[in-house]
Amino acid sequence: MTVNWNQGLELGIKKIDQQHRAFFEERDKFVTACTQLLKKERDSEINREKIAEVFYFLTDYFKTHFSDEEQLLQEKEYSYYEEHKQRHQKFIKEVQQIKYEFLQTDEINIELVHQLKDKITNWFVNHIAKEDKKIANHL
Ligand SMILES: [Fe+2]
Ligand SMILES: [Fe+2]
């Protein structure tokens, strides 16, 4: 099951909330491309390109979002800054690894696509709900 944006994920920090929402919008484009790929509704090259685009967006997105969030944590002298930053870094490495594997192969690996769709979303939703929420409570 795909988790969607919901009010429970809202922190009440405008900039961060907007960035969190943007992830879900992009994720939905990714899911659509995957679905078309699975149904072979369109030429698979088109979808493969779309998926590659989403990967590039995601790596860029996470870097920007995490760095903005970390800047805020520093400004607010958040006690668990280092721990939070490490979680971000570990996740970026995982996303980059998945992207690398995906772009290495000529065959579209549906398993990988599915895994990514759920893995990335689940990690991010959990991170917002547990870790980012702590920031909101701290402010
Ligand atoms: Fe966040
Ligand atoms: Fe975070």
Instruction: Look over the chain and give the mean of its residue pLDDT values, rounded to a whole number.
Output: 85
**Ligand 2: centre distance to CA 49 (Å):** 29
Q: Which residues surround ligand 2, an ion (CB under 5 A)?
A: 69, 132
Those residues whose C-beta lies under 8 Å from the C-beta of residue 117, and which sit 6 or more positions away, are 2, 27, 30, 31, 34
Q: In angstroms, what is the span from residue 40 Cα to ligand 2's centroid?
A: 36
Greater pLDDT, 34 or 79:
79
Tokens 């547990």 identify what position? 130
Digit-coded pLDDT (tens) for 35-92: 777 677 556 666 677 777 877 888 899 999 999 999 999 999 999 999 999 999 999 9
**Which residues lie closer than 8 Å to 120 by C-beta, 6 or more apart?**
27, 58, 95, 98
Centre of ligand 2 to C-alpha 32, Å, is 26
Domains and CATH numbers, the chain: 12-138 (1.20.120.50)
Could you give the count of Cα atoms lying within 13 Å of 2 in the half-sphere of its Cβ? 16
Q: What is the pLDDT of residue 109?
A: 64
SS3 113: helix
